């Protein structure tokens, strides 16, 4: 999918209430899961022990951490949306997050970004995004979140 380019904050406000972008599919590999486990010290067997997960997990394989899926949002957003006229963007927080389905190792996911609100702040704007992450081949999403970012001039 081609990146959506929004030329200014004023034009960003035109997108409120609309889906702005759907990303390309992104593979969540076992290597990425292992690296995330190492970085976060969350090495629960369901994420990193392939043999045990194959034998004991209800998914028949290892699965990504919910927080790994959540941590992909900035990358997926950068791939899908460019907001011009801003010097930098920061994560401001989340109002709610739900991990609504598993992401087995090797799955492909994509995100849908709907702009819920744009509020003026000092030297920039605060945006609220309704994000849904889907797993290829599944009707039910694997993550839903209300994500707050700030963009500064």
| Domain ranges within the chain, ordered by starting residue | 4-152
| CA gap 80, 13 in Å, rounded | 17
What pLDDT is attached to residue 52? 98
- Token output for 25: 């599919």
- Look-up: residue for tokens 């997990």? 57
The maximal CA–CA distance of the chain, rounded, in angstroms, is 54
State the average pLDDT over residues 9-29: 95
Q: Which residue has the higher pLDDT, 85 or 30?
A: 30
What pLDDT is attached to residue 79? 93
Q: How many CB atoms lie within 10 A of CB 35?
A: 12
Domain 4-152 has CATH 3.30.360.10: no
State the average pLDDT over residues 104-114: 98
Taking the CA atoms of 104, 143, 72 and 115 in sequence, report the sign of the dihedral they define. Answer: positive
What pLDDT is attached to residue 128? 98
| CA gap 143, 69 in Å, rounded | 8
| CA gap 129, 120 in Å, rounded | 15
| CA gap 113, 90 in Å, rounded | 16
What pLDDT is attached to residue 86? 87
Evaluate if residue 36 carries a pLDDT over 90.
yes
Segment 38-90, tens digit of pLDDT: 999 999 999 999 999 999 999 999 999 999 999 999 999 999 999 998 889 99
């Amino acid at each position: 999918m081609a990146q959506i380019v929004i030329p200014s904050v004023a034009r960003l406000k035109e997108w409120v209430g609309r889906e702005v972008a759907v990303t390309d599919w992104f593979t969540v590999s076992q290597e990425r899961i292992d690296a995330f486990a190492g970085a976060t010290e969350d090495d629960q067997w369901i994420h990193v022990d392939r043999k045990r997960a194959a034998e004991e997990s209800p998914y028949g394989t290892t699965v990504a951490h919910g927080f790994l899926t959540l941590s992909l949002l900035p990358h997926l957003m950068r791939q899908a949306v460019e907001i011009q006229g801003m010097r930098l963007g920061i994560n401001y927080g989340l109002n709610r997050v739900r991990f609504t389905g598993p992401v087995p190792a090797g799955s492909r996911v994509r995100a849908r970004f709907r702009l819920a609100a744009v509020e003026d702040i000092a030297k920039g704007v605060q945006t609220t995004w309704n994000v849904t992450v889907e797993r290829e081949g599944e009707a039910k999403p694997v993550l839903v979140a209300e994500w707050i970012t700030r963009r500064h001039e």
